[in-house]
Copies of this chain bind each other. A is one copy, B any other.
Amino acid sequence: MVVVMQKGATQDQIQIVQNRLEAEGFNVHLSQGVNRTIMGVIGEPGKIDPQILVSLGGVEKVVPILQPFKLASRDFKHENSTVQVGNCVIGDDQITIVAGPCAVEGREIFLETAWAVKKAGADMLRGGAFKPRTSPYSFQGLGEKGLKIMAEARELTGLPIVTEVMDQKSIAMVAEYADVIQVGARNMQNFFLLRELGKVNKPILLKRGMSATIEEWLMAAEYILGSGNPQVILCERGIRTFETYTRNTLDLSAVPLLKHLSHLPVMVDPSHGTGKRDLVEPMSMAAVACGTDGIMVEVHPDPANAWSDGPQSLIPDDFSKLAQKVRHLKGIYQLDDQSAGRI
């Protein structure tokens, strides 16, 4: 880290900061310019909260230099990590396609959708039993009944299940039924939940928070990794900006950036990322073109009667075309000497 002293900081003030840092075991390199003294501080980051130093007399600012995430970083592990779910390996050279409705609305309609997405080429089945809804007056999910329906669908179709957990209390219950446990955008910084999921032996799909920086997102992954669970999949799902035409702004540059900063597999959710059915296909293609390991798409047999997220859901026929195009595109990439989307 670098400590910048105020213009006019006294020798005493500089000495106090230096002493404090050295007492914590850091090496301090002083650079005295005409206008400012700055200190290069070498040592184990994380030992001291850099912000503390700002409270010392004469300090203007403290600039962290190194990335705060460790276990999630490429520096820590150079090879790509993969996560195995059934026969599916997320993070290898295939594209993984997860599809299904936003919420499990009932047994029959869910089984119908499950067969449809299976037939259309999905690798995994998604569905929500607990739904985080902005309004307390909206449908909140079927709970365990929903989980049981998903388990039945898995048995029938062979597709592994991805579903969201919303609180610590339900972890055991969700883990009993799910193949991949999803952490939603609103829970990305629910640190109690993350820690507990670090103790579960199931892959965790960690969605990016609506206003989370990439650094904060990787720090959330760090909570899970650090508690003992290495099976983390990151999922970009759009961030909140001033633009209102789309529900969120899908930040696809996060994909190659994460591939650079981290070894973890990365997926993209173009349904929540745009909120508009017509944008799901082009943004899925774009996600593949820039190197995603998978996509997660909302599919509903009758969007006009879906209980949630209808406007962003594809009908099975359109999903089927999308899946074909996506696989075709990925196939071309694999023929190239270099994978185009990797940096």
Contacts and interface: CB of A to CB of B under 8 A. Distances in A.
B244 A241 contact: no
Contact of A336 (B192, B245, B325): B325
Interface in A255-298: 255-257, 260, 273-274, 276-279, 281-283, 285-291
A308 to B, nearest CB: 7
A27 interface: yes
B166 A169 contact: no
Contacts of A2: 2, 38, 40, 63, 65
Contact of A55 (B7, B252, B313): B313
Number of copies: 4
A343 interface: yes
A279 B257 contact: yes
A307 B35 CA distance: 26
Nearest to A195: B136
A210 interface: yes
B256 A240 contact: no
A310 interface: yes
Contacts of A36: 65-66
A182 B132 CA distance: 20
A340 B285 contact: yes
Given A132-B191, A343-B279, A242 B211 contact: yes
Contact of A135 (B133, B213, B222, B276): B222
Nearest to A192: B167
20 contacts: A32-B42, A38-B40, A49-B307, A52-B306, A63-B63, A133-B191, A136-B219, A136-B223, A167-B193, A169-B169, A186-B189, A190-B190, A213-B244, A214-B243, A214-B245, A249-B251, A281-B340, A282-B290, A285-B289, A332-B332
